[in-house]
Structure 1
Amino acid sequence: MSEVVFNEQAFYSHLGGDRELGSEILKVYMVDAPARTESLAEAVRNGDQALVVKYSHALKGISATIRANAIALLAERIEMASRKGDLDRARQLMPKVYMELEAVLGAVKEHLGK
């Protein structure tokens, strides 16, 4: 697991320092990322290559938006493996996704003061 799970400075810098907008985006992430992760896990379990690509790409995008780089990288690895038809690699990476997601959600929750 990465040391910096959520790069606050880079996130707010990207938003021009708009902390109100940042808080709203982070609140959406807190709901959206777990839902996307569960959809991804289900697609992996079902061996649905197209949905694994779709959901991993979506998780990568929302995680990169908040500068949660480690989970974005894991999602990208799943996406690339799935595009090549390697769903075994996607299955191997899912536990790491869950671990990293837990860390990111904890950091975001702490940041938001919840």
Structure 2
Amino acid sequence: MPYDGSGRKIYLSSINIRKCSVTPEKVRSNPFVWENAGKVALKRGPIVYCLEEIDNGKLLSSISIPREAKPEVSPNGFMEDGLNVITIEGDRVVEESWKGGIYSSEEPVRKKVSIQAVPYYYWGNGCLD
């Protein structure tokens, strides 16, 4: 049984699911959590989404999402439970443009990409092909 931090049990019936927006959005953690600095999560209602290499290519750390980019819901028939994926436009560092070494004074070359996110619970269980 989950607890709320004060020792009280949380019952599913006490969570008001109806207040959850179904509009996909970017959310951020507390800025003092340094491990998450500069990162966002994608969510829709109570469901958090994640990126997978199988759908977005290798080196997910080379992908960035511009501040002005708006996530959208995209229907996708591969999920048997009927949940959709979230798509958002972003960009990726072109790996081949990095000229060796650990450091460089040159700006990395980037290309526009369409990013697809699946519900986190589905992580490692499929692909969009």
- Which TM-score band (shorter chain)? under 0.3
Q: Which has the higher contact order (CA 8 A, sep 6+)?
A: 1
**TM-score normalised according to structure 1 size:** 0.23
Q: Which has the larger share of helix?
A: 1
